[in-house]
Structure 1
Amino acid sequence: MSTKSGSHKPIQIFLVIGIAVAFIGFFVGTRSGSQVEHTGYHDPPAQRPGGQAIPARSYTEILSNPLSENDHWKSSIAQLAAERPELYAEVKNSPELLAKALAERANNRAYAGAPPTVPHPVKQTGDLACAACHTDGLEVRGRVASPMSHPFMTNCTQCHVPSNPAGPDDPELLGPMSEENTFVGMAEPSGGPVAWMGAPPQIPHQTWMRNECASCHGSLGKAGMKSTHPWRQNCMQCHAPSAQFDQDMPPATLAPAMPLATP
Structure 2
Amino acid sequence: MRNICMKVSYDGSGYNGFQSQPDGNTVQDKIEKALLMLTGEEILIIGSGRTDAGVHARGQMFNFHTASAIPIERWPVAINSRLPDDIVILEAYEVPENFHARRSAKRKTYRYTIDTGKYPDVFGRQYRFHHYRPLDVAAMRQAIVHLIGTHDYTSFTSTRSTKPSHVRTIYEAYIEEEGPFVHVYVTGNGFLYNMVRIIVGTLIKVGIGAIPPERFPAILQACDRSKAGPTAIPQGLMLWDVHYAEIKPGS
TM over 0.5: no
Specify which structure has the higher proportion of strand: 2
TM-score (norm 2): 0.22
- TM-score if structure 1 supplies the norm length? 0.22
Could you say which structure has the larger radius of gyration?
1
